[in-house]
Amino acid sequence: MTRQRLADPTPPPAPPEGGLRERKKRRTRAALIRSALELFTTQGYEQTTVDEIADAVEVSQRTFFRYFANKEEVAFAVQEAVEAQFFDALRERPAGEPPMTALRRAVSLAWDTIEQAIGETVPPELHMRMYHAIESTPALIAVHLRRSVELEERLAREIADREGLDLDSDPRPRVLVAAFSGVIRVSGRLWGARGDCSSDAIRKLTEAYLDHLTPALAEDWNTGSTHA
């Protein structure tokens, strides 16, 4: 009598290769950012080569260029992620909010997740050191200013779209964003100088400076009275 062979149970599904590959790519990208920022902040941005960054992670130069076009891009990778969070938060604000309210609440919400976003890639302390490096490196300051102008234009266009305005004929979105961005730059610079790299510290500083924006623009500083 021939014994009937039992069918093999259905094997568990194999983990998706795409998911594993994506996780490996994220780890490699984060490692490249960490090694780059460490090198930039210890030996200088201009003195650091792509080969040194790649060697620190034990990958080839070719691998580096799969993730970043150049040193500039990797230097601002964390900052770009932070800015993207803020921009996404602004786009999600309710349509009826006044523009300044939307900007302020968006930046406040961004601070809720900024430390986590930074920490997933580099230690917050390293992010702060890189902020100092940007502020003290002429080549990086120039890039930082260019990127700030580009971000301000995106924000102004988003505000104009929310309000149904023509950005080319109505100056208010650009004026508002310029004032708001100025506060962010000032508070960020002071945050970097004070040595407290926590998101709570920059949140409090930013909110305190935003509180002074309207009085600084609208009031007589000597009497505190508002011009008619």
pLDDT digits (tens, 9 = 90+) for 195-227: 666 667 778 888 888 888 877 776 666 654 444
Amino acid letter, 164: G
Structure tokens at 30: 């984060």
User: Is pLDDT above 60 for 12?
Assistant: no
pLDDT digits (tens, 9 = 90+) for 31-61: 999 999 999 999 999 999 999 999 999 999 9
Nearest Cα to 98, choosing from 153, 176, 26, 200? 176
d(CA 29, CA 66): 9
Residue 2 DSSP symbol = P
Instruction: Calculate the alpha carbon distances from 153 to 105, 185, 206 in Å.
Output: 19, 16, 21
Nearest Cα to 77, choosing from 134, 23, 20? 134
d(CA 31, CA 165): 43
pTM: 0.78
Q: What is the dihedral of CA 152, 133, 143, 108, to 10 degrees?
A: -10
Mean pLDDT of the chain: 84
Nearest Cα to 128, choosing from 90, 92, 79, 161? 79
